[in-house]
Every structure is written in C-alpha cells, then in structure tokens.
Chains A and B, each alone.
Chain A
C-alpha cells in the first residue's frame, strides 16, 4: 500500500506559531473578569488526623476571601472510584477525595485551601493557616512494609490480574542449563511536566467552565461532574494548550474539583495552580519498586522459564502497580512464565501512569537480564534475542497484528555499527584517556491498547475551499492537533494547509483521553471516518446535481485533489467542492463521523516494537557517565507526521537516559514524605546531558488496530533505552548495574 501524500508529511506543528510567540494560553493563564486565586495547604504529616484548624490569622490577612477545609467544604456527591482514563469514563486518579474529614492518609494531602484576591496574598495567607495533627505510625517505603506484603488480586485499576501463569515454570527451570536470578530496585519517579497542574473555574448560573491541564477534557468533565453532583452537560472543559503531562495529567486529581468548589463558595472565578512541590503529592507518581527475575535457558540461549515478582507500595485506597511484567511476558517465545504483583499498603497517594508505565521498568529488568545471559553463554546480545524471537504473541499464541522487530534490530545494528563491536565487557578494553567506552542494546515493546468507546470527529468544508476538523482531544505536545489536519486533508482530498483544527474542548465531538500511546490511533480513526464521510457526501451531492459537470457519473470514478472533484483520467471534467456549494447557495457542508473500535478480543497480539542502542563513556574515578550517542529504530505502524513522531520518539529515548542516570524521588522514611520535591533536586536531563539521537521509523502495515494502522509513538521510545545504557555500562566497566537510577556513587564504588 502506498503512503498517501498528506499523511506522513513532516508538516510543522499546527500550534507552533502560538507557542513561539507566547500567544498560547495554558490553564492558569485565562483571566476571566474578577478572577481570584486559591492556594492549597497540604499536610506535613503522613498519617493521623487533624485535631484543629486555626484559620483566624489567615482570615484577617489582607485580601483573603475564604479559608476552606473539611470543616466547611461541602461533601462531594460521590465516592470516587479509580478507573483508568483509557476507559473513556470518569477517571478519578484515586478512590479518595481530600478535605472531607479529619483523616490524613499521606503527606502532601490537601487539608485546606485559601482564596484571596491576588496570588501573593493567597500564598501568604496559606502560610498563616494553623493545622494541628495527632500523628499515627506510617509506612511509606518497600522496606518498611515488606513484612506485610500481599499478593494483589488485580492492579492498574482492575485492568490487570495480580498473577499470570502460562506453562509450567518449575518444569522449565528443571530443563534449563543456565539459571540467572537478579533483583532490581527502582526509585520512585515524578512526571515533572514543566507546566504544573492547574485549573481555572468559572461558574455562570449552574454552568461551569473549567480550563484544565488534562490529557482528557471529557475525563475531567465526567469526573468533576460526578464529584459535584451536577450533570456532565453543565460542565465544559477547555484544554487547548497543555504544558506536558507524561501521565501526570492522565487521571483527574482533586484540584479541578476544588477550584470549582472554591469558585462556588466565593462566587467568583478561581484559578488554582499547584506549586512545583505540591505536584509531587497531588498528581500521582511512579511507585518505588523491587523486581526479582529468574531466567532459565538452554546452552544455546533458548529461554525455558521466566519467573517474575514485583513488590511495590500502593495507597490505602487502591491496589495500584504499574504493569511492569508485560515486556518479560511478551518479548520472547518462552513457554513457561509466572508473574506476580505483590503490594504493600503505604501512606502515599495512589501511584499512577508515568510515561512507559510498567514497560519502562520491566524492559530494564528483562533486557539487562538478557544481556547478562548473553554474556554467560558467550553469545552476542542481539543474536540471543533473535534466537528467542516471538513469532506469535507468547501470552495467547495469537498472531501479531504487525511486528517488524527483526527489521528494527537489523536496521538499528546497521546504523549503530553494532556488528563491528568489540564484544569484551572488560574494564578499560576501550579507553579514551580516563573515559572507558562501552556499547549496549535492548529491545522495546509497548502494547497497542484498544480504546473502549466510539471515537467521534466533525469535518466541515466551506465554500471558500477551506476545511475545519474538530475533536475534543487535547494536544499535550504530541502533535495530535497537527495530525488531525493531515488525516482530514488526506480523506477530503485536500492539502493539510487548507485545514484548520479545533480541539481541546468538551463542546467538540468526543474522543478518549490521549493516554497509553492510543491518542493518535483513536483521533486519526475518528477524523478519517468523519472526513471520508463528508467527502463521499459531497461527491454524492455533485453526482445528483444537474448543474454539476459530474452529474450522473459513477462515484467510483471520482477522485478529489486539492478540493476539486473530477473524473478519474479526465481531470478537466469536474468542479471544486466550493463551486458546487456556492452554486447551491450553501455556505458549508459537514459530517460527524463515529468510529467503533474493534474491542479487546481482536484475535491478534497488538504491540509496537523497536530496538535501542547506546554508547557510553564512563569515568570510574569520578563516577561520571556520559551517553555519547543513542540509536533507536521503531515500527509504530503508520506514521502520521514524520517530524512530530520523530520528536516524540527522541524525547522518549532521552527520558530513558533520565530514567537510567538521573531520576529519583527519595522518600524520607523518618518523615514519611518526599525529600526532594523540586526541579533543583529531582534531576531531569538538561541540554548538556543529552547527545544527538538517531531515530528511524520502519512503517509496518497493520489492518487490525484502527483504520489507518496507527500504533502510537508516545512511549515506545523510552522502553529499553535505560537497559541499552546500563548494558553499555557493563560493556565499559565489566560491572552490572541493576538498580535505577545508576548514581555517581554506585559507579565510583569499587567492583
């Protein structure tokens, strides 16, 4: 199938101009008349109850309009229940809403909210609110709760079983000639999108407009409406510009509802923006975790058994763990697998999705273990992976809807120069002054999630020859808005420059939240369906119009180019959409398209695959690691825009660099709270940390996942990147790094 000309083009971002001029308005930057500010006061203790709130000093502070707490905030209308936003319904981030009673479940939990006429007055008064606590014992780390761990029945909002078995792991281990066991520890992580979550709430009579930082405007609408006890149709959510998310804005947390409640209370529009520190305890996190993996293999490298246990803390209200076992279960043709999620109840909020949720940690474990196995067996790491390649989905035996992993390995190896690699993993085998050099590789896999409800879009053509396409989805920096225009243009037979996109508003046709790398697939399916319907409608109108040169023609013989319908092979016979509309005294024409997703049981394994390569330089004397270059080759189905997809994959790979070497939120066990909730102390890659990144996309045809065969690029770039870096470190130093992040002190420590 040839790649159509509008889809795939590297057209510049639709919103680039607004973003480089400063015209783009984010959620805390809407200024309705009379708007005031709310600031949260958050618990400093991790467990216990509030014994008193003294609002007297805050209330007399200049400009203060209200101090709200469990003492005077209305009760929410429904007990929230966690449901992942991919389900397309309410998306409570946790089964808990704060400021409803005196109970403290975790440090950083909102306990009061101050509303004042200016931001600095609200911030100042928030410091004057006195809160007394009766503290109770707490658990906040794996080590504190290890003895009370339990096997989860389900995790991930009920979507993933706590235990997975296939084949017979004991028999597989008995068959093995080599058995490797390794334990890996991961620090907790926070998303740290540069825009902290914020909401601006405006009531007009009984109607609420919320400007919200969200991956899913509809998810915000349904969640806030349920908590407030108002009809969803009375809540409009606008999210045109969202300053990054990475999962932190995938679920709906308390602050948009609190902003709406505050606005109701003071009878004025309210902006509630979390501070950077508050985002660490109000928008979820990737949990601390410990993984134990046992691999059994024959001497030729064939895997005979995989046993995998993960242990991690969750909240008191939900059984949440990111599904880290996926890559080990899906990457290789191993007949015997056992995976278990163990949980510890802890005084934290419910953990949540964070880019490559589960796949990021899980791929690190299986892919560093495969590197270790290759070394033990004297095999090239890439060759070991080829020997265990899964030709069908090992979890179900189903065929893959599309794969392309072998091609990714081959192309990546060629680009990176893998085959000329010196295989010796010896400290100093390759050296430049004090720098030891090493290279490593890893596989990448990320599931293609099926969305669960109809995806809608509206397409409209105007008589002047321009078109508009609309969906409710937000663009969190992915390029969703840009590809909407391209997909619509392709189906309408127009240039994407002639298509304007409207998005990020619940008043537009509904699409699911842009989560789980499923956004591009869902939105492109909806837009394609709507635009194709409109094209067919306009062609049918021309064929039935006695004034049209195409009157009476066969619809199968019509083609549309640059908005002009004509007879195939006779381009002179035809007319533009606009000419026909104008002749009929019509200003525009539109169609709403609805795409019904195929559902979960397609009979195929659906996943995106890729191959990662990295080169590092290590100075063991100083503990320094520099990633010199990274190569990633991915097979994401069809690519809608080469430029924005490249940026997504590159960003994902550099997230892998951060995961490998920098990112950690440290829990202070004696205080029960995060010790480093700031961008000064939670380290993320800066410009000087990041090498140039080589990214290639191999398009594979997929006729199962959605009409255009789009598998998504949001997360696959991160999966395996940290493993490739850690494997390169092994190659450089001869030492195995099993915990993330790999810190300076661990690199310095003698072997």
Chain B
C-alpha cells in the first residue's frame, strides 16, 4: 500500500478498493490519535476520503485545505458568522469549531451535496428565484441552515424563521429575501424536508 501523503488524497472508499488501516474505536477511546498526523476516514457528500490529519485540524480546514471542498466558507473561524455551516449526521454544525477527527464514521454533508446531479435542491432554486444572495460568501452556510431548519420544523412563521436563521450572518443583508426563499420552499409542499433527511 502506498504510504499516506500529507495533504489532499484521492477517493478511498469505493467498492473494491482497499481501505487503509486506521485507528480502531478502542484506540481512539484510549486517546491514541495524535499529536502526530493520523489517517482519518471522512465521509463527505457520500464519498469516503482517506486523509492524513493532525488532530488539531478543524473539519472546515480538512474540507477546504485537504479535500478541496470549498463550499463551506471561512468567515471568522470562531463560530460567530455561520458561513462554515455543514451537516454532521444530518444536524447543522459549525465546521470551524468541529475537529475533523471527531467526524470519522459520521456523514458530513456540505453545500456541494445538496443538488441532485444537475438538478438544484428546491432551496437552492428558491435562493436564486428570490435573490437571497449577493456576494455569495455566506450562501453555502445559509443554505445548509435553511434546509436543516425545514427538517427541524422551525418554519412556522417569519419570526421563527428569522430566529433560527440568525446564526448565519449575511453582511450584504439579503435577510428578507432569505426568509422569502424559505417560505417559498415551505409553501410549495415540503419537498425540501424529505431531501433534507437524505
């Protein structure tokens, strides 16, 4: 087996491919990862990646710098802006405050995983339709929060939508249009809810 390389790696987890040795759950429980780099298997948008990481690497840096998944954005790197919002096992988390090694064995979903091939997710369509974006830098995080909010059921009225979208700063202040996009998806029959669970 080729020794793992620091940095970006190719796909590792497709059927028939050898999965490299990684720390077992027991080893991890004993704290046997780090401080030196270790191999971690990260499942991102349904694809398994083997990536060699120091334990201090955040999920956000692992995605952006190692896997070249740059949809999740770095706006503050301290959990204040929400631009890095992704899902871990279907729940929204701030990737900048999540350690990558803690995501082994979990499903990570980023904005790149929202569309079904060339078909945009209804929430992506609604953001385009309602001009719910300007510079676009917060948009991936807004989308991941908006779709999760549907699944959470926090979409009864505008006040509730606004409250549950307030972890995602939009400095262009497209907020009223973001609320309108969410209402559009809500009122068009909850297709986003089903897809949000997938």
The chain A residues found within 8 Å of chain B, CB to CB, are 12-13, 15-22, 24-26, 28-29, 31, 117-120, 192-196, 241-246, 273, 275-276, 476-479, 643-644, 646-648, 650-651, 654-655, 658, 678-680, 684-693
A437 to chain B, nearest CB (A): 18
Q: Which residue of B lies closest to A695 (CB)?
A: B176
Asked, given contacts A192-B171, A650-B176, whether A688 binds B166 with beta carbons under 8 Å apart, the answer is yes
Q: Are B135 and A686 in contact (CB under 8 A)?
A: no
Indicate if the CB atoms of B173 and A650 lie closer than 8 Å.
Answer: yes
| A194 with B135: CB separation less than 8 A | yes
Name the residue of chain B whose CB is nearest to the CB of A653: B173
Q: Across the interface, which residues of A come within 8 angstroms of B176, CB to CB? A: 650, 690-693
With a CB–CB cut-off of 8 A, which chain A residues contact B83? Answer: 194
A118, A647, A679: the one contacting B131 at CB < 8 Å is: A647
Give B42-84 as 1s and 0s: 1 = Cβ < 8 Å from A's Cβ atoms. Answer: 0000000000001011000100110011111111111111010
Interface: B148 (CB within 8 A): no
CB <8 Å contact, A16 and B128: yes
- Bound Cα distance A21, B113 (Å): 8
Given that A678-B76, A679-B76, A680-B78 are known contacts, is A686 also in contact with B169, CB under 8 Å in the complex? yes
Residues of A within 8 A of B71 (CB): 21-22
Shortest beta-carbon distance from A713 to chain B in Å? 12
Judge whether B85 is part of the interface by a CB distance below 8 angstroms. no
B107-125 at interface with A (beta carbon < 8 Å)? 110-112, 114-115, 120, 124
Of A19, A195, A643, A647, chain B has the most CB atoms within 10 Å of the CB of A19
Binding site for A on B (CB under 8 A): 6-7, 54, 56-57, 61, 64-65, 68-81, 83, 110-112, 114-115, 120, 124, 127-129, 131, 133-140, 143, 158-159, 161-163, 165-179
CB-CB < 8 A to A243: which residues of B? 73, 135-138
Known contacts A20-B139, A647-B177, A686 near B166 by CB under 8 Å = yes
A647 touches B134 (CB 8 A): yes
Asked whether, in the complex, the Cβ of B128 is within 8 Å of the Cβ of A20, the reply is yes
Q: How far is the CA of A685 from the CA of B54 in the complex (A)?
A: 36
Q: From the candidates B114, B167, B173, name the one contacting A655 in the complex (CB within 8 A).
A: B173
Closest-CB distance, A236 to chain B (whole angstroms): 21
Q: Which residues of A contact B115 (CB under 8 A)?
A: 21
B-side contacts of A117, CB under 8 Å: 6
From residue B103, how far is it (CB to closest CB) to chain A in Å?
16
Q: How far is the CA of A245 from the CA of B83 in the complex (A)?
A: 16
Q: Which residues of A contact B179 (CB under 8 A)?
A: 687, 692
CB-based contact A679/B136 at 8 Å? no
Tell me whether A647 and B169 are in contact in the complex, defined as CB-CB below 8 angstroms, given that A21-B120, A120-B57, A194-B81 are known contacts.
Answer: no
B169 touching A651 by the CB < 8 A rule? no
Residues of B within 8 A of A25 (CB): 70
Cβ B131 vs Cβ A21 within 8 A: no
Residues from chain B with a CB closer than 8 A to the CB of A29 are 64, 70
What CA separation (Å) do A740 and B110 show in the bound complex?
Answer: 39
Q: B80 contacts A19, CB within 8 Å?
A: no
| CB–CB B128/A119 < 8 A | no
B169 touches A194 (CB 8 A): yes
Q: Which of B64, B143, B177 has most chain A Cβ within 10 Å?
A: B177
Q: What's the minimum C-beta distance from A269 to chain B, rounded to whole angstroms?
A: 14
Residues of A contacting B114 in the complex (Cβ-Cβ under 8 angstroms): 21
**Contact flag A13-B133 (CB < 8 Å), given A647-B177, A690-B173:** yes
A691 to B111, CA, bound (A): 27
Contact A644 B131 (CB under 8 A): yes
Contact status of A19 and B162, CB under 8 A, knowing A120-B56, A276-B77, A654-B173: no
The answer to whether A12 and B163 have CB atoms under 8 Å apart is no
Q: Complex Cα distance A651/B165, Å? A: 17
A120 touches B54 (CB 8 A): yes
How near does chain B come to A247, taking the closest CB pair, in angstroms?
A: 12
Q: Is the CB of A13 within 8 A of B131?
A: yes
Let me know if A13 and B128 touch, CB within 8 A.
yes
- Which of A31, A193, A685 is close to B137, meaning CB atoms less than 8 Å apart? A193
Q: Which of B120, B143, B171 contacts A244 (CB 8 A)?
A: B171
Contact B178 A687 (CB under 8 A): yes
Are B70 and A22 in contact, with the CB atoms below 8 A? yes
Closest-by-CB residue of B relative to A26 is B137
Known: A644-B134, A655-B173, A679-B169. 8 other contacts (CB 8 A): A20-B120, A194-B83, A246-B171, A477-B135, A684-B169, A687-B166, A688-B163, A690-B175
A-B contact pairs, 15 of them (CB 8 A): A13-B131, A20-B139, A21-B111, A22-B140, A193-B137, A195-B135, A243-B136, A243-B137, A479-B134, A644-B134, A680-B78, A684-B171, A687-B165, A688-B165, A692-B158
- Given B69, B76, B120, which contacts A276 in the complex, CB threshold below 8 Å? B76
Q: Once the chains bind, are B80 and A119 in contact (CB under 8 Å)?
A: no
A696 CB, nearest partner CB in chain B, Å: 15
Cβ contact of A21, chosen from B57, B112, B129, B170, cutoff 8 A: B112
Complex contact B57–A195 (CB within 8 A): no
What distance in Å separates the Cβ of B173 from its nearest Cβ neighbour in chain A? 4
Q: How far is the CA of A266 from the CA of B178 in the complex (A)?
A: 44
Q: For B166, list chain A residues within 8 Å (CB).
A: 686-689
| Contact partners of B140 in chain A: CB under 8 A | 22
Q: Which residue of A lies closest to B159 (CB)?
A: A688
A84 to chain B, nearest CB (A): 22
Nearest CB of chain B from residue A278's CB, rounded to whole Å: 11
Instruction: Give the chain A neighbours of B75 by CB distance below 8 A.
Output: 194-196, 276, 679
